[in-house]
């Protein structure tokens, strides 16, 4: 299986302090890879490097088999990389419809974007005229995902989708994420609390202090290791 997204030996720093020390990760089309690890391990930095918003100090970034090391976020977006940051990035004072309408910059029509959004998340159609800030946390996350899908991503990078949401809501969101992957998208998910995402992940990597400590199928060994890291109860 060839990878749509590949990080090879990625090192990165914040304010001259090294936070990633040679991270190797690969995500194939149709695959969900979970990147887990304690607070401050460097998970968000991995996503930011993959989206081109944080520079790698060394290592290589490949998208669709092409070396895009050092490419800026626009070029990576054009290559199909979409980052949905922690905190969702929806515009709270705009309606759901206007949040979606803004995505017409992608060249897709308003009707196409609404179809993508409302087919996957019917509740958004009911909320179309509501200000995004008045939606529940789960609905805001759906809107963020719908905005991401409007870009027709090849690679979807999700940061702490579960933040502030009830477990049941998180479970439902991850079912949708699994469905998005089944349609051929390569999905890399960062989570501090592992339980929900391990249910749908094909592969998991445990990042500790900027190093992948273990990766593989999310089997009992990996789950036990996560438990030992006091990261919830996977």
The number of residues that bind ligand ATP (CB under 6 A) is 12
Touching ligand ATP, residues 184-223 (CB under 6 A): 192
Least Å distance between CB 27 and ligand ATP?
17
- Residue 136: CB atoms within 10 A of its CB come to 13
Enter the tokens of residue 136. Answer: 């529940």
CA 115 to chain centre: 22
Touching ligand ATP, residues 1-30 (CB under 6 A): 14-15, 19
Binding track, positions 62-101, relative to ligand ATP; x by CB under 6 A: ----------------------------------------
Q: Are 202 and 26 in contact (CB under 8 A)?
A: no
C-alpha triplet 75, 90, 12: angle, nearest 5°: 45
Nearer to ligand ATP, 76 or 124 (CB): 76
Cα–Cα distance for residue pair 78/106, rounded to 1 Å: 10
Give the CA distances from residue 15 to residues 18, 47, 57, 69, 214, in Å, rounded to whole numbers and listed in that order.
8, 18, 12, 20, 27
Least Å distance between CB 230 and ligand ATP?
14
Least Cα distance to 142 among 111, 91, 177 occurs for 177
Binding track, positions 27-56, relative to ligand ATP; x by CB under 6 A: ----------x-xxxxxxx-----------
Nearer to ligand ATP, 38 or 199 (CB): 38
Least Å distance between CB 87 and ligand ATP?
11
Binding track, positions 130-159, relative to ligand ATP; x by CB under 6 A: ------------------------------
Nearer to ligand ATP, 100 or 196 (CB): 196
Give the CA distances from residue 199 to residues 57, 141, 167, in Å, rounded to whole numbers and listed in that order.
34, 19, 12
The binding site for ligand ATP (CB under 6 A) comprises 14-15, 19, 37, 39-45, 192
């Amino acid at each position: 299986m060839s990878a749509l997204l590949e990080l090879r030996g990625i090192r990165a720093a914040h304010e001259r302090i090294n936070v990633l020390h040679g991270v190797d990760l690969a995500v194939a089309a149709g695959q969900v890879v979970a990147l887990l690890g304690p607070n401050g391990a460097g998970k968000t930095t991995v996503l930011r490097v993959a989206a081109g918003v944080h520079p790698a100090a060394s290592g290589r970034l490949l998208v669709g088999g092409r070396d895009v090391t050092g490419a800026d976020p626009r070029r990576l977006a054009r290559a199909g990389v979409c980052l949905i940051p922690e905190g969702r990035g929806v515009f709270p004072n705009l309606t759901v419809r206007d949040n979606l309408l803004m995505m017409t910059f992608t060249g897709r029509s308003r009707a196409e974007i609404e179809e993508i959004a409302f087919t996957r998340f019917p509740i958004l159609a009911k909320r179309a005229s509501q200000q995004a800030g008045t939606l529940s946390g789960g609905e805001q996350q759906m809107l963020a995902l719908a905005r991401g899908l409007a870009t027709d991503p090849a690679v979807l990078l999700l940061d702490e989708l579960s933040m502030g949401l009830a477990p049941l809501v998180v479970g439902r969101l991850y079912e949708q994420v699994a469905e998005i992957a089944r349609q051929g998208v390569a999905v890399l998910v960062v989570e501090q609390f592992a339980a929900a995402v391990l249910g749908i992940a094909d592969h998991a990597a445990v990042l500790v202090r900027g190093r992948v400590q273990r990766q593989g199928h999310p089997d009992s060994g990996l789950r036990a290791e996560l438990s030992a890291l006091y990261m919830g109860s996977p």
